[in-house]
Structure 1
Amino acid sequence: MSMGDQFLWVIFPYICIVIFILGHIYRYRTDKFHWSAKSSEFIEKKQLMVGSLLFHLGIIPVILGHISGLGIPKSWLHAFGVSDHLYHIGAVYIGGFFGFITLLGMIILTFRRYSIKSVRRLSTTSDLIVNALLLFIVFMGMYATVVTNVTNPSFDYRDTISVWFRDLFLLRPDPSYMMGVPLSFKIHALTGFAIFAFWPFTRLVHVWSVPLSYAGRSYILYRKHKVN
């Protein structure tokens, strides 16, 4: 196994994880008042609304699917009666459906950011990079799900990528699991870790600013003011 393989499948993921954690701490301590995404809704609303809706509707099931596929061992699913065939149907068809919705949303949002001059002027360099990188990650995920799984049906990422991924967090990394993985899955995995390294320094930090207290806050009361 070459030093390049060691770097790609051991060193690089850990670098990205460390940057993700320390970068968020640094960003919050030094720039907490800009811990949000600048709105461009006042410039263009229609494409933003459609693209954002599609992206957010798709990305949540996609993330849950990744957590299930990468974090839950195959043997555990077997114990609950989920066969490989049933899992494959869910991953390809259900995952592919939500992946397509996510991809369509990202295409609209990226086209909007790059094609509308006033939106592009408002965007920072990191905004443009993140949009392009997210679009590429989602595209490669869809390609791996739809194309690679069809052309290489014998490949099961739960025997390779999933084990490698879990072992990273158990501090026993083994890059050998990634040696026979198709290129599309490798690119998707590496760019996925790369976006985590970019995360603390971009508008993506607004993900952690979800107003959870909003649902439980007191009602605002309006009273008529009687004029004498």
Structure 2
Amino acid sequence: MSFIDTFLWAVFPYLTSTIFIIGHIIRYNVDQFGWSAQSSEFLEKRQLKWGSLLFHWGIVFVFFGHVAGIMIPKIIYDTVGVSDHLYHMGALWLGGAAGVATVIGGFLLFLRRSGHRRIRNNSSFNAMFTLVLLGAVVLVGFTATVGYAASGGDFDYRTTISPWFRGLLLFNPQPELMVGAPFGFQLHVILAFALFAVWPFTRLVHVWSLPLEYLTRNYIIFRKMNAQQIARRVK
């Protein structure tokens, strides 16, 4: 292997992961007021509604698809009777559907932020860069997976990328597993780790702010008042 291969598949993942972890700690301690999605809903709602729904639900299923494909070893699927053909068909159709929803939703969000003058004027370079990088990760991953499967490719990421990634988690990197992977998959992985590196310094930190208190708090009741009732309250 060359120095570039060693750096990309054995050093770069740990470097970006370190930035990811330390960056979040620093961001939380110095910028809690900026720890939000920085919503622009008050500027435009219609495009945001469909773009946000498609993107967020799509990315949730894409995430769990990655967990099923990367974190679960192939031998477990073989043991429970899931054949390679059945697995790849499920990944193609279910993963493809989630990928399509994510790509369309992300495209709508990009059009909204770049094409709507008020939103564009109130968007920072950070927000636009994050959206573009996130879109590149999703689009490259989608086209690599669906395009390679549709063209009849015999590459199985469960025997290369998956054990390589699990090896990183166990601090036993095996960069040689990634050297022979198709370029599309390699680019997807590199862009994903680059996204991890910039994540703590962008609006993406809102992913960790789950409003779990909504599950247990009491209902808030809103009652409509007419003009006379409002006038009496003011007096």
**Aligned ranges 1:146-185 → 2 under 5 Å:** 146-185=146-185
User: What's 1:98 paired with?
Assistant: 98
Amino acid at match of 2:164: W
**Aligned ranges 1:15-26 → 2 under 5 Å:** 15-26=15-26
Instruction: Provide the secondary structure at the position in 2 that maps to 1:13.
Output: helix
Length-normalised TM-score, structure 2: 0.92
The percentage of aligned residue pairs carrying the same residue is 50
Could you tell me how far apart the structure 2 residues matched to 1:175 and 1:79 are? 27
Length-normalised TM-score, structure 1: 0.95
Could you tell me how far apart the structure 2 residues matched to 1:132 and 1:222 are? 39
Shift of residue 37, structure 1, vs aligned partner: 1.3
Amino acid at match of 1:12: F
Could you tell me how far apart the structure 1 residues matched to 2:63 and 2:160 are? 19
Amino acid at match of 2:57: L
RMSD of aligned residue pairs (Cα, Å) = 1.6
Shift of residue 151, structure 1, vs aligned partner: 2.7
| Residues 218 and 88 (structure 1), Cα distance of their counterparts in 2 relative to 1, 3 Å cut | same
Instruction: Provide the secondary structure at the position in 1 that maps to 2:31.
Output: helix
Could you tell me how far apart the structure 1 residues matched to 2:220 and 2:154 are? 58
User: What's 2:202 paired with?
Assistant: 202
Moved more, 57-66 or 149-158: 149-158
Shift of residue 222, structure 1, vs aligned partner: 6.9
Shift of residue 55, structure 1, vs aligned partner: 0.5
Could you tell me how far apart the structure 2 residues matched to 1:141 and 1:109 are? 19
Instruction: Provide the secondary structure at the position in 2 that maps to 1:220.
Output: coil
Moved more, 17-26 or 111-120: 111-120
Shift of residue 134, structure 1, vs aligned partner: 1.2
| Residues 28 and 7 (structure 1), Cα distance of their counterparts in 2 relative to 1, 3 Å cut | same
Q: Which has the larger radius of gyration?
A: 2
Shift of residue 221, structure 1, vs aligned partner: 5.7
Task: Provide structure 1 residue ranges, at least 5 long, that are not aligned to the other structure.
Answer: none
Shift of residue 152, structure 1, vs aligned partner: 4.8
Could you tell me how far apart the structure 2 residues matched to 1:55 and 1:221 are? 31
